[in-house]
Amino acid sequence: MMKYLQRLGRAIMQPVAVLPLAGLLLGIGYWIDPSGWGANSAIAAFLIKAGGAIIDNLPILFAVGIAYGMSKDGNGAAALSGLVAFLTVTTLLSEATVGMLRGGAEVLTEEGFGKINNAFIGILSGLVAAACYDRFHQTKLPDALAFFSGRRLTPIVTSFIMILVSGILYFVWPKIYGGLVTAGNWMVERGAVGAGLFGFFNRLLIPAGLHHALNAVFWFDTIGIGDLTHFFDGTGTVGVTGMYMGGFFPIMMFGLPGAALAMYHAAKPEKKKTAYGLLLSASLASFLVGLTEPIEFAFMFLAPGLYFIHALLTGVSLLIANLFHATSGFGFSAGAIDFILSLKNPVANKPWILILMGLVFFAVYYVLFRFFITKFNLKTPGREDDDLAYTEEKGEADKKVLSKATDFNRMAKTIVQGLGGKENIDRLDYCSTRLRVEVKDDAKVNEQQIKSAGASGIMKPGKNALQVIIGQQVQFVYDEIQKMI
């Protein structure tokens, strides 16, 4: 299971990599026009809409990116299948379609069909599509249907599977969504403790996209609280209104950047540059705008235990903020831009406490993340499995650059033979310097033959898993092997 989550974590990094840019575009646009969101400035409108094009379509990015990344050979047909899967389920379970299925009957808001376009559905669609692709991309149909054989078959099969999944979700989704709304009502009665529980479950439900159900209860007028709406319309109560928002500022502005710094310091030396680019831009997005997904999805599946700690600390932050009656609010999210703008709001109370809390949470996040990452060798960015058992000797092997005259086709053939033939290759991928291979029967692997092809070394992180160290031109060997299999 953990290995599967780590593969999912690696696959999800492709769509996550574009999020920091979206956050910065939104932040600059929001800074230019915080009240009109582009209505008062053409430049702001351009930037906000450009950033929103990415953020608003995050679920579909997950569907396509995960389908591509989780498939055995990363073929474009897998990505297309992910898109088909997502479009199928979100269309069948949209409020309009559900209303038609019920003969025009009203679709209640608390059923949650209006929120079906979420990260969970995107991830689910990608996983289903990848599984369908791996299972059916080599299927041969009778001659009369030969046009639909192989990779062309996978989007078709995926659509049928997602119809079945949609049928199940039609009954399950409203119960899950409605249950969260009921839980939110229960938390409200618990005061500061309830606010802490809200913060905890708000983060914990982000992977499933179900945090919107809780947000609707606390931030808007689902049950008459309207913590966000009353903060900005001036009808709130000082020291009370904003109690479900204030505690997020220390986490988003300080805590998560502290976690990012810990992940950077814990990265392998040869991976620090790669981790630096991702984590720095993600930290800026979190600090300035409160866009946390670039950081959270960077470790959510690679180290789920850390994500639980993050959710717990978020709950603690909201609890403490409420005990001190430190409140603030946001129009977009709990970043520095919203914090500065909220200082002028007469409903804000003791906002300076949130900054002091943030400094403490920066240290807490850094210490806890650094400790758990190194103590349990968690696979956060820069510590992926392709770095397992890295030694100075193998590090030098990774730096090897093959000659331009190298016969990559012959090299690939020898490696395939050494792996026990193409029939024995279950999964093939590559990183910056290594082929990552999963074989069906490790007894058929001939390491000496693989090395005779020119490979610098072989590593075995698992019984059926191998890493063939090629060097910085590994892509060309990978491409040749792909042609063969």
> 352-363: per-residue pLDDT in tens?
999 999 999 999
The per-residue pLDDT for 405 is: 55
Return all residues near 39 (Cβ < 8 A) that are at least 6 apart: 33, 45
The per-residue pLDDT for 34 is: 76
pLDDT band at 253 (very low <50, low <70, confident <90, very high): very high
User: To which residue do tokens 């791996």 refer?
Assistant: 134
b/e per residue 162-176 (b: at least 16 CB within 10 A): beebbeebeeebbee
By C-alpha distance, which of 420, 485, 478 is closest to 450? 420
C-alpha dist (Å) from residue 63 to 2, 167, 270, 281: 21, 19, 31, 23
- Quick one: average pLDDT of 150-163? 94
Across all residues in the chain, what is the average pLDDT? 86
- The per-residue pLDDT for range 44-74, each reduced to its tens digit, is 899 989 988 887 888 899 899 999 988 887 7
Please state, in angstroms and rounded to a whole number, the distance separating the CA atoms of residues 310 and 365.
Answer: 8
Token pair in block for residue 171: 């009954």
Token pair in block for residue 202: 């708000």
pLDDT higher than threshold 90 for residue 257:
yes
pTM value is: 0.69
Percent helix, strand and coil across the chain, each to the nearest 5: 65, 5, 30
Token pair in block for residue 99: 């209303």
Return the higher-pLDDT residue of 10 and 183: 183
Query: CB–CB of 330/342 below 8 Å?
Result: yes
Please state, in angstroms and rounded to a whole number, the distance separating the CA atoms of residues 449 and 3.
Answer: 28
Burial class (CB in 10 A: 0-12, 13-18, 19+), 189: exposed
- The per-residue pLDDT for range 343-388, each reduced to its tens digit, is 878 889 999 999 999 999 999 999 999 999 999 999 898 887 654 3
**132 is annotated as an active-site residue:** no
Please state, in angstroms and rounded to a whole number, the distance separating the CA atoms of residues 478 and 469.
Answer: 12
Return the higher-pLDDT residue of 68 and 4: 68
Lowest mean pLDDT across 47-56, 151-160, 284-293, 401-410: 401-410
Please state, in angstroms and rounded to a whole number, the distance separating the CA atoms of residues 89 and 106.
Answer: 20
**Stated length of the chain:** 485
Share of the chain above pLDDT 70, in %: 93
Apex CA 293: angle with CA 288 and CA 295, to 5°? Answer: 80
Angle at which helix 19-32 crosses helix 42-55, to 10 degrees, equals: 150
pLDDT higher than threshold 50 for residue 284:
yes
Return the higher-pLDDT residue of 174 and 233: 174
pLDDT higher than threshold 80 for residue 169:
yes
The per-residue pLDDT for 305 is: 93
The per-residue pLDDT for 386 is: 53
User: Could you give the maximum distance between any two Cα atoms of the chain, in Å?
Assistant: 76
Return the higher-pLDDT residue of 332 and 448: 448
- The per-residue pLDDT for range 391-435, each reduced to its tens digit, is 334 445 455 555 555 788 889 899 999 999 989 998 888 776 788
With residue 467 as reference, give the H or E element that holds it.
strand 465-469
pLDDT band at 456 (very low <50, low <70, confident <90, very high): confident
Please state, in angstroms and rounded to a whole number, the distance separating the CA atoms of residues 439 and 423.
Answer: 9
The dihedrals phi and psi of 400, each to the nearest 5 degrees, come to -60, 135
- Quick one: average pLDDT of 93-113? 89
The per-residue pLDDT for 385 is: 61
The per-residue pLDDT for 393 is: 41
The per-residue pLDDT for 394 is: 44
pLDDT higher than threshold 90 for residue 319:
yes
The SS3 assignment for 331 reads: coil
Return the higher-pLDDT residue of 453 and 85: 85
Query: CB–CB of 226/220 below 8 Å?
Result: yes
Please state, in angstroms and rounded to a whole number, the distance separating the CA atoms of residues 256 and 290.
Answer: 10
- How far the first Cα of the chain sits from its last, in Å, is 27
The per-residue pLDDT for 99 is: 93
pLDDT higher than threshold 80 for residue 467:
yes
Query: CB–CB of 181/114 below 8 Å?
Result: no
The per-residue pLDDT for 234 is: 66
Token pair in block for residue 2: 């953990």
Q: Which amino acid, 131?
A: A
Q: Write down the catalytic residue from 193, 208, 388, 431.
A: 431
Token pair in block for residue 396: 């030098």
The per-residue pLDDT for 199 is: 96
Token pair in block for residue 316: 């603690």
The per-residue pLDDT for 221 is: 65
By C-alpha distance, which of 173, 208, 156, 180 is closest to 94? 173
Winning range, highest mean pLDDT, from 212-221, 230-239, 263-272, 431-440: 263-272
Burial class (CB in 10 A: 0-12, 13-18, 19+), 448: exposed
Query: CB–CB of 370/382 below 8 Å?
Result: no
**226 φψ region: left (φ > 0), alpha (ψ -120 to 50), beta (else):** left
With residue 436 as reference, give the H or E element that holds it.
strand 434-439
